[in-house]
Structure 1
Amino acid sequence: MNLHTLLGERARRVGPVRVGVIGAGKFASMFLTQVLSTEGVHVVGVADLSPERARAALDRTGWPAERYVAASFDEALRSGGTHITDSADALIGAPGLDVVVEITGDPVAGTHHAVRAIEAGRHIVMVNVEADCMVGPLLAERARKAGVVYSMAYGDQPALICELVDWARTVGFDVVAAGKGTKYLPEYHASTPDTVWDHYGFTQEQLDRGDFNPKMFNSFLDGTKSAIEMAAVANGTGLHPQDEGLFFPPCGIDDLSTVFRPTEIGGRLTRRGTVEIASSVHRDGAEVVRDLRWGVYVTFEARTDYAVQCFAEYGVRTDETGRYGSLYRPYHMIGLELGVSVVSAAVRGEATGCPTGFRGDVISVAKRQLKAGEILDGEGGYMVYGKLAPAAASLELNALPMGLARGFKLCNDVPEGGVLRWTDVEVDDSVLAVQLRRELEQTMRG
């Protein structure tokens, strides 16, 4: 609760928190517009494969041009300005850098950047949930050994969910389920970048003035992003996915404690201590009343009869037994809130969520009949979507993780709805992300 005070004390004592941002898309833009007014935080550099895209992001988010004309990282440090580069490795190696924020959304590139940041002694805030759910447990362990923080990104839903779970456990409740809301219908699993805007209902005017990535938005729609985020939550909290993955039951905020409880007492969960998604629409397409589409939740059970009595006395909305309650946050502000993670890592040495084990995984499922010789197009594309699975089940299937389902050639046909396996793909073992993933799987099997 005193993070802002600690930031001010640190700035007076040793200077601002020096930050490097990798990736200049929508999430980064939201962070950049806020950090512009955050005293005690200095964005030393922004790295993007397209420096023009980085300049456009800074201009769009309110940065005066004179703030980002520094010719080098040394000049940026001296002047308090920001250097733009196309080299993430150069940014990671910039002198005096404290925190690297990885926002590329590319699991292969993100893995590389995280490893380099840890080796350079930088704290790493991993907005890249795709990389985190694929190899996060290994990256977190490397960071611990190196004495730096590896953190989920506050403002993104996984970190906010982890915060709710931590609250419930700290005050002594038994966590039954945690998750988020989204708009879901079963047919969305087949959505492609060509159909995504029709499902979202954005106008052409909105698309023209925004920095919207159709593959990324399609990942939210086709269920992949939900699977990725719930795997990250499972790995960061000790909650375990259901054997079936996610059911996406329709649920509004008034019914959280009734829907997200075990099936044996009338709920929709096939196990306790799990992750699940609340759909904002019913299966017939009708909107759920008081939906949680943009928010996060935790459901919990009181451990004593006295706590149940207190629920009733203080107006806690519960199920009909009075024992199951819930807490929710109606929306998340994504990159606008990212500064909490940056400052927490730098001044407290504390992560806003971090993998503690490998419990959830995201397996690749064919959206259509796939043919040998085709090149996989990855998250949010035309060929595959991600499905949540317990990590042990994924290993037993020898499933190809969703994070590696791009850029590699298929060597076997895969039927529509089929799970892709390592043996279905010509994988390049020289890729660092592939090496770390194989290491994680071997460790878990061992």
Structure 2
Amino acid sequence: MNDLHALLARRVAEGRPLRVGLIGAGKFGTMFLAQARRVKGLHVVGVADLAPERARLALERAGWPKEQYAAPSLAAALQHGTTFIGDDAPALIAAEGIEVIVEATGAPAAGVAHCLMAIEHHRHIVMVNVEADALLGPFLARRAAEAGVVYSLAYGDQPALIAEQVEWARACGFEVICAGKGTRYLPHYHQSTPETVWHYYGLSAEQAAAGGMNPQMFNSFLDGTKSAIEMAAVANACLLRPQPHGLAFPPCGVDDLPHVLRPREAGGQLSHAGTVEVVSSLERDGRPVFRDLRWGVYVVFAAPDDYVRRCFAEYGLVTDASGTYSALYRPSHLIGLELPISVLRVGLRQEPTGYPQAFLGDVVAVAKRDLIEGETLDGEGGYTVYGKLMPAADSVALGALPIGLAHNIRTLRPIPAGAVVRWDDVAYETNHPTVRLRRLMERTMLTETSQ
């Protein structure tokens, strides 16, 4: 990627910095800001957040000098190479000279709306908001391509890093057997709520509050929802078909990846090759897995013949007993600190760091407990539902409600614990723009995928 630096240096010499707008100044956005100010030629023109003071605090925390983000307007920021802080995302998207929009709100409906505005104004989009990508990514990526702009997953987040490893394997001529990431998982985590979440992290509520940690967000990491969302993004970006049961979260360390993550007929735990899975850093009895991959990503690939199997052995690759399956893994990811890679790739080379190509994976809402008629669902990481990965064909056939739309809607009937919530089970707004686009994607892109 040396040419990214060279391309950016050329833009600097020409007096044409790469101009970027950031929407959402949460943890991911703040980490991006911490590095963006160190990339010469990358100009963050504006940061839009519903709470501008939170954005100012984020910039202060990220080490920005106050005079750098004291611009009185977007026009002044563009003129003087400074940064404007405000709460008007549409104005930021429409600002003259903006080339790339980074959407980092984490709110699915907001992410969809911002993405569509960016496409309308011919801005490239880096979609940090993987919740929006899991909900409507295949549709949004197609709409962007039709408009001649790039829609990209966010480098530093696990889906884009996994997509990079899958691309490496396929470009080398290997069959991709499985791709995914690690996490901390035990089956009862699916019932975790924002009230119980800190116990599992070994924190008190007071410690979490002092660190500015959002209990619902952290609970989505724990209860399996975030893993499901990220694996849907990977499935759709890498043309990998989810297993019928979704994710099994098998305990597995890095040395056992080729053994555990191979098809059942070969002695592994996968229902089929060419899929996604998340491995747990905990054994089912709670003991830590040896050499776990809790923070990392991986791809398992297969040797096509005896010669390549012999090469695997000669060069020290860890394989299964047959010598056929091996794995490439990365033990960590750096979230927003790595996001400049996406911004530069998209803005300078018009290349995405992964993007949804088909509607293969979906994330549906599942009841955490028995729900009564008239309850209000509180979405990802909440008290009522968690997200489960399903093959898109199965979720649509079932009439399942996407987790990205399971927010602030009322149940119409009792739903037992563990049951998938269906569209017919809730009172949803049929004319809501995001609902209409989602239903359109279900009708059109699923048909294409099945052909």
So what's the TM-score if we normalise by structure 2? 0.97
Which residue of the partner structure matches residue 217 of structure 1? 218
In structure 1, distance between residues paired with 2:183 and 2:174: 26
The more displaced of 210-219 and 273-282 is 210-219
Which residue of the partner structure matches residue 68 of structure 1? 69
How far has the Cα of 1:87 moved from its partner?
1.1
In structure 1, distance between residues paired with 2:164 and 2:28: 20
In structure 2, distance between residues paired with 1:354 and 1:38: 24
Which residue of the partner structure matches residue 339 of structure 2? 338
Q: Amino acid of the residue matched to residue 432 of structure 1?
A: P
Which residue of the partner structure matches residue 371 of structure 1? 372
In structure 2, distance between residues paired with 1:355 and 1:55: 33
How far has the Cα of 1:14 moved from its partner?
5.1
How far has the Cα of 1:24 moved from its partner?
0.9
Q: Deviations over 1:35-81 (max 9, x none)?
A: 11111101100111111111111111111111111111000011111
Which residue of the partner structure matches residue 271 of structure 2? 270
Which residue of the partner structure matches residue 234 of structure 1? 235
Q: Deviations over 1:308-341 (max 9, x none)?
A: 1111111011111011110000000001100100
Which residue of the partner structure matches residue 279 of structure 1? 280
* Partner SS, residue 262 of structure 2: coil
How far has the Cα of 1:13 moved from its partner?
2.9
Which residue of the partner structure matches residue 115 of structure 1? 116
Amino-acid identity (%): 61
* Contact 1:191/1:222 (8 A) holds in 2: yes
Which residue of the partner structure matches residue 355 of structure 1? 356
* Contact 1:162/1:233 (8 A) holds in 2: yes
Q: Deviations over 1:267-296 (max 9, x none)?
A: 110110000011000000000011000000
Q: Amino acid of the residue matched to residue 125 of structure 1?
A: V
In structure 2, distance between residues paired with 1:7 and 1:431: 41
* Partner SS, residue 246 of structure 2: coil
How far has the Cα of 1:205 moved from its partner?
7.4
**Structure 1 position 441 matched with structure 2 position 431:** no
* Contact 1:26/1:212 (8 A) holds in 2: no
In structure 1, distance between residues paired with 2:353 and 2:446: 29
In structure 1, distance between residues paired with 2:446 and 2:300: 32
**Structure 1 position 291 matched with structure 2 position 292:** yes
Which residue of the partner structure matches residue 24 of structure 1? 25
Which residue of the partner structure matches residue 250 of structure 1? 251
Which residue of the partner structure matches residue 393 of structure 1? 394
* Contact 1:254/1:317 (8 A) holds in 2: yes
Q: Structure 1 residues 438 and 201 mapped into 2: Cα distance closer, same or farther (>3 Å)?
A: same
How far has the Cα of 1:202 moved from its partner?
3.3
In structure 1, distance between residues paired with 2:100 and 2:177: 34
**Structure 1 position 134 matched with structure 2 position 135:** yes
In structure 2, distance between residues paired with 1:214 and 1:306: 52
Which residue of the partner structure matches residue 166 of structure 1? 167
* Contact 1:191/1:218 (8 A) holds in 2: yes
Matches within 5 A, 1:43-122: 43-122=44-123
In structure 2, distance between residues paired with 1:241 and 1:264: 17
* Partner SS, residue 373 of structure 2: coil
In structure 2, distance between residues paired with 1:432 and 1:88: 18
In structure 1, distance between residues paired with 2:431 and 2:11: 42
Count of matched residue pairs: 446
Which residue of the partner structure matches residue 207 of structure 1? 208
Q: Deviations over 1:1-41 (max 9, x none)?
A: 22222222233235111111111111111101111111110
How far has the Cα of 1:412 moved from its partner?
1.7
The more displaced of 300-309 and 155-164 is 300-309
**Structure 1 position 429 matched with structure 2 position 435:** no
How far has the Cα of 1:209 moved from its partner?
4.6
Which residue of the partner structure matches residue 260 of structure 2? 259
* Partner SS, residue 300 of structure 1: strand
* Contact 2:34/2:337 (8 A) holds in 1: yes
* Contact 2:198/2:205 (8 A) holds in 1: no
How far has the Cα of 1:211 moved from its partner?
3.0
* Contact 1:153/1:159 (8 A) holds in 2: yes
Q: Amino acid of the residue matched to residue 268 of structure 2?
A: G
In structure 1, distance between residues paired with 2:398 and 2:97: 45
Q: Deviations over 1:335-375 (max 9, x none)?
A: 11001000100001000000000000001000011122221
* Contact 1:196/1:218 (8 A) holds in 2: yes
In structure 2, distance between residues paired with 1:365 and 1:198: 23
In structure 2, distance between residues paired with 1:39 and 1:94: 21
Which residue of the partner structure matches residue 185 of structure 1? 186
Q: Deviations over 1:104-158 (max 9, x none)?
A: 1000111000000111100000011111011101100010011111000000000
Structure 1 runs, 4 residues or longer, greater than 4 Å off? 203-206
In structure 1, distance between residues paired with 2:371 and 2:197: 21
How far has the Cα of 1:264 moved from its partner?
1.3
In structure 2, distance between residues paired with 1:218 and 1:418: 20
How far has the Cα of 1:407 moved from its partner?
1.3
* Contact 1:26/1:211 (8 A) holds in 2: no
Which residue of the partner structure matches residue 12 of structure 1? 13
Q: Amino acid of the residue matched to residue 111 of structure 2?
A: G
In structure 1, distance between residues paired with 2:35 and 2:411: 43
How far has the Cα of 1:208 moved from its partner?
4.5
* Partner SS, residue 267 of structure 1: coil
Which residue of the partner structure matches residue 329 of structure 1? 330
* Contact 1:114/1:139 (8 A) holds in 2: yes
In structure 1, distance between residues paired with 2:197 and 2:8: 41
* Partner SS, residue 385 of structure 1: strand
**Uncovered stretches (5+) of structure 1, i.e. residues with no partner:** none
**Structure 1 position 195 matched with structure 2 position 188:** no
Q: Amino acid of the residue matched to residue 88 of structure 1?
A: A
Q: Deviations over 1:173-217 (max 9, x none)?
A: 110000000000000000001111110123667535533111111
